[in-house]
Chains A and B, each alone.
Chain A
Amino acid sequence: MESTSLIAETAARILRHHCDPQTLNSCAGDDWQGPAWAALEAAGLPLAWVPEHLGGAGVGLEDGFGLLSLAGRYAVPLPLAETLLAGWLLARGEIAVPPGMLTCAPTRRGDKLRLAAEGTLSGRLRAVPFAKIAKHLAVLAQREDGKGDAIALIELAKVRVADGRSIAGEALNTVSLEAVQPVATRDAPAGLDAESLLAMGAAARAMQMSGALAAVLDIAVAYANERVAFERPIAKFQAVQHNLARLAGEAAAAMAAAGSAANAMASAGAAPRLATPDFDAALFLEVAAAKIRVGEAAGVGAGIAHQVLGAIGFTREHVLHRFTQRLWAWRDDFDNESAWAVRLGTLIAARGSEGLWPLLASR
């Protein structure tokens, strides 16, 4: 395991070299993709959360979340988060993790995969990110015999992957399985269920989004200082300053909420207690609040940045859309802010008024 700063430095070096937003924005095709992924893999980053004996780099959860925030700063258009999450899930089942791009599911509450007694998987999974380009899919499935959940590894070439794209233009696919034989299946450890994967996914997206919002703030501030109108940089106009101050407030809220949730998930360790018998309400609050608040910040923040950049920010040529479109897309992955808010509100109401402040203060 490498030190925190070494991982961050390595990642920053690779992302600067292979995933510079301006450079990628000018690329016609996706020839850059192979070398970029190869460099990330060579540094062990996509499988950071997989222990060494299962083929990964064995990096701690917190460092992995840090990596995702950095990836957000570059609006990395690769399944880095998805591969990290899939590796994390497979490792919980002690399943050896294959190289190459991975993705994971379910990413929506309510989607269910059934594991039949003879070991085949069936079901429909909505909105699986990068399913069209990834090689393998890691899933949580419910055993039809009612004996709990299982973790499985599926070869994507063997299942039906519908065409589909996110608002950012990235592959986002419905995956349909009919009695599919997985590469490997293991029992999920006690307490780990679809809710745990959803929480990890939400925390991961929140970190990517907070990174992207920090980048959007930088882009908008730099542009306001450069762009001259009425004979001075628009940064000198109070109306623009106040819009950017609001954007900073949204970016700050996103940073704080996402960082806090990632830290909470990292502290929860291998088995976040989000299943019914042993429910950790504080951990749920952290993750739900992050996905909600970061999602809200993404909407407001992207809107302000576009307003500050005016027409140029609306062009394909400028990099701003690489960030704002992903912010909009990521809001919906691993459930959107409305879905999380209903769950959180329901929990708070059920616990009652007296329980609200002690829960908040426990964080």
Chain B
Amino acid sequence: MGGALTFDPIRLPAECDRLRHEVRAFLDEEVAAGSYDPQEPGNDHGFSPAFSRKVGAKGWIGMTWPKQYGGHERSFLERYVVTEEFRVANAPVRLHFVADRQSGPVLLKYANERIKQDVLPRICRGEVCFAIGMSEPGSGSDLFAASTRASKSKGGWLVNGTKVWTSNAHHADYLIGLFRTSPATKDNRRHGLTQFLVDMKTPGIIVNPIYQMTGQHDFNEVVFQDAFMPDDHVLGEVDGAWKQATSELAYERSGPERFLETFYVLQELVRVLGANPDVRGAEGLGRLVAQVHALRRMSVSVAGMLHAGKEPVVEAAIVKDVGTIWEQALPHRARELAAFVEEGASNRATFEEQLRFATLIAPKLTIQGGTTEILRGIIARGLGLR
């Protein structure tokens, strides 16, 4: 199986270079105009309607989608460049990021024409925010234990139950929810779940905040009480959501956001160590740079395979496993390497502040979007162990 893993040395094509410079120029202007502070990764939870609309106007949301739905029919590799430049610049993309990365592609594949015409162009303009309603109080990593019910009623479905850890739900216009429409069968415990497009303005939906240990409000509890979903909001096959979930996950798992989430700490570490670090600082820094370079080359390689129409499921899971472990360890390693730096270093205060923030958010990095344990299970299956 080692022979079957593929990480070819993909290089981004020339059009990506031009785009990268455009994106950097745009971000420089935005920072200069004061629309956000790149030194404050936690600022406003990265949520900015004005900024998202500008990104939409630039054509950088739904980049790979068909033009008929407001997309721009650009390559997956171009989208990759935009994603990594925004991530490294700590740009406030929270409003549109989930819709762009995963909800939009789900709609493109499974929504009916009317909904696609209605929702997708608004995503592309940076106007709508999506949340993902998968986890429940009794169902986290084990998605197929979901018990929030959608029962058939006239012209649609009535939903009852509770989703938790739902990021963005308090901002979201829509949520893509996974609801139980039938019991699991004896021979297939994954049977019986259906994906729905949920309009968050629907009566019977209550969003309760769950504050994080950082003090931030990011995720929520979403309670459904006889919330009505029209028939045409079913996404894909009734009872067959398990068949729909897998292929998009390669995109979700292998992107640059899976190892660059705490990158600002590394940049600030370079500043705090100064132009002539001692041998300990230099070696530590050299190793971190080698590790992030290797991760990026793995991630670009997977992007190249996706671009070529392949489905590198195991490779993508590996990128997320190794990448999230790395970005989680980074603040701790930076702390050690900066231990002997003089108090007087010019950016010491910024470094300390960013370190504090990154250390506090680090635990979630190996949990969100598929835990380390789940990923290693997927990799093990790919290796032929299960």
Contacts and interface: CB of A to CB of B under 8 A. Distances in A.
Interface of A: 73, 213-218, 221, 224-225, 235-236, 238, 240-242, 244-246, 248-249, 251-253, 255-257, 259-260, 262-264, 285-286, 288-290, 292-293, 296, 337-338, 340-346, 348-350, 352-353, 356-357, 360-361, 363
- 10 nearest CB pairs, A to B: A341-B286, A345-B286, A217-B2, A345-B282, A214-B2, A345-B285, A344-B286, A241-B380, A292-B290, A245-B376
Given A341-B286, A341-B287, A253 B385 contact: no
Nearest to A249: B322
A260 B287 CA distance: 17
Contact of B5 (A235, A251, A260): A251
Q: Which of B3, B301, B315, B380 has the most CB of A within 10 A?
A: B380
A288 B298 contact: no
A344 B289 contact: yes
A344 B297 contact: no
Contact of A245 (B7, B263, B383): B383
A248 B275 contact: no
B286 A340 contact: yes
B195 to A, nearest CB: 28
10 contacts: A221-B1, A249-B379, A256-B9, A288-B286, A292-B291, A346-B286, A349-B274, A360-B289, A360-B293, A361-B84
A198 B285 CA distance: 21
Interface string B258-302: 000001001110110111110101111111011111111110010
Q: Which of B296, B314, B379, B385 has the most CB of A within 10 A?
A: B385
Contacts of B279: 342
A21 to B, nearest CB: 14
B301 A224 contact: no
A218 B3 contact: yes
Given A296-B291, A356-B270, 4 more contacts: A245-B380, A259-B8, A288-B286, A345-B285
Given A257-B293, A345-B282, A360-B293, A218 B379 contact: no
B2 A248 contact: yes
A221 B384 contact: yes
A334 to B, nearest CB: 15
Contact of A242 (B1, B270, B380): B380
Nearest to B89: A357
Contacts of A293: 290-291, 293-294
A363 B297 contact: yes
Contacts of A350: 275-276
Contacts of A361: 20, 84-85, 88, 296
Contacts of B286: 288, 292, 340-346, 348
A59 to B, nearest CB: 18
Given A221-B384, A353-B268, A289 B290 contact: yes
Given A216-B2, A217-B1, A349 B275 contact: yes
